[in-house]
Chains A and B, each alone.
Chain A
Amino acid sequence: MFELIVLHYNYWIVIFLMMAGLYVVVSRGNLVKKIVGLNIFQVSVFLLYISMGKVSGGTAPILTGEPETYSNPLPHVLILTAIVVGVATTALGLALVVRIREAYGSIEEDEIQADNRAVEAEEEAQSR
Chain B
Amino acid sequence: MTVQAIFAHLPILQVIMPLIAAPVCVILRRGTLAWILALVVSWASFLVAIKLLAQTLDGGVISYELGGWAPPWGIEYRVDVVNAFVLLIVSGISAVVLPYARQSVASEIPRSYHALFYTCYLLCLAGLLGVTITGDAFNLFVFLEISSLSTYILVSMGWQKDRRALMAAYSYLVMGTLGATFFVIGVGLIYMMTGSLNMADIAERLQGLSGNRTVRVAYGFIIVGVGLKLAMFPLHTWLPNAYCYAPSSVTAFLAATATKVAVYVLLRFIFTVFGLSFALAPETLTHILLPLSLVAMFAASTVAIFQVNLKRMLAYSSIAQIGYMLLGVSFSSLTGLSATVLHIFNHALMKGALFLALGCIVLRVGGATIVSVRGLGREMPWTMGAFAAGGLSLIGVPLTVGFISKWYLIRAALEVGWWPVAIAIVASSLLAVVYVWRVVEAAYFQDPPEGRPPAVEAPLAMLVPVWILVLANIYFGVDTELSTTAARLAAETLIGGWR
Chain A interface residues (CB < 8 Å from chain B): 22, 25, 31, 34, 38, 41-42, 45, 48-49, 52, 75, 78, 81-82, 85, 88-89, 92-93, 96-97, 99-100, 103-104, 112-113, 116, 119, 123-124, 126-127
Q: Which B residues lie within 8 Å of A127 (CB)?
A: 308, 369-371
Q: Which A residues lie within 8 Å of B145 (CB)?
A: 85, 88-89
Chain B interface residues (CB < 8 Å from chain A): 138, 141-142, 145, 149, 152-153, 156, 159, 163-164, 166-167, 169-170, 173-174, 177-178, 181, 184-185, 188, 191-192, 308-309, 369-371
How far does the alpha carbon of A85 sit from the alpha carbon of B163 in the complex, in Å? 26
Decide: A88 and B149 in contact? CB cutoff 8 A.
Answer: yes
The one of A49, A52, A96, A103 in contact with B173, judged by C-beta atoms closer than 8 angstroms, is A96
Once A and B bind, how many residue pairs between them come within 8 Å at the CB atom? 76
Residue of B nearest to A90 (CB): B177
How far does the alpha carbon of A113 sit from the alpha carbon of B168 in the complex, in Å? 11
Interface of A is mostly: helix
Could you list 20 further interchain pairs (A-B, Cβ under 8 angstroms) beyond the known A123-B308, A124-B308? A25-B174, A34-B174, A38-B174, A38-B178, A45-B184, A48-B188, A52-B191, A89-B145, A89-B149, A92-B173, A93-B170, A96-B166, A96-B170, A99-B156, A100-B166, A100-B167, A103-B163, A103-B166, A123-B369, A126-B371
The one of A22, A41, A103 in contact with B159, judged by C-beta atoms closer than 8 angstroms, is A103
How far does the alpha carbon of A48 sit from the alpha carbon of B184 in the complex, in Å? 11
Q: Which A residues lie within 8 Å of B370 (CB)?
A: 127
Please give me the 10 A-B residue pairs with the lowest Cβ-Cβ distance, nearest first: A103-B163, A127-B308, A85-B145, A96-B170, A100-B166, A127-B371, A52-B192, A49-B188, A99-B166, A89-B177
Q: Which B residues lie within 8 Å of A85 (CB)?
A: 142, 145, 149
Residue of A nearest to B155 (CB): A96
Q: Which B residues lie within 8 Å of A41 (CB)?
A: 178, 181
Residue of A nearest to B169 (CB): A96
Q: Are A119 and B173 CB-contacts (below 8 A) given A75-B191, A126-B371, A127-B371?
A: no
How far does the alpha carbon of A81 sit from the alpha carbon of B314 in the complex, in Å? 36
Q: Which A residues lie within 8 Å of B164 (CB)?
A: 116, 119
Q: Which A residues lie within 8 Å of B178 (CB)?
A: 22, 25, 38, 41
Residue of A nearest to B192 (CB): A52
Q: Are A45 and B188 CB-contacts (below 8 A) given A89-B149, A92-B153, A103-B166?
A: yes
What's the minimum C-beta distance from B312 to chain A, rounded to whole angstroms?
Answer: 10
Decide: B181 and A45 in contact? CB cutoff 8 A.
Answer: yes
Q: Which A residues lie within 8 Å of B170 (CB)?
A: 31, 93, 96-97, 100
How far does the alpha carbon of A127 sit from the alpha carbon of B313 in the complex, in Å? 14
What's the minimum C-beta distance from A118 to chain B, rounded to whole angstroms?
Answer: 12
Residue of B nearest to A91 (CB): B149
Q: Which A residues lie within 8 Å of B141 (CB)?
A: 82
Residue of A nearest to B367 (CB): A123
How far does the alpha carbon of A123 sit from the alpha carbon of B184 in the complex, in Å? 41
Residue of B nearest to A42 (CB): B181
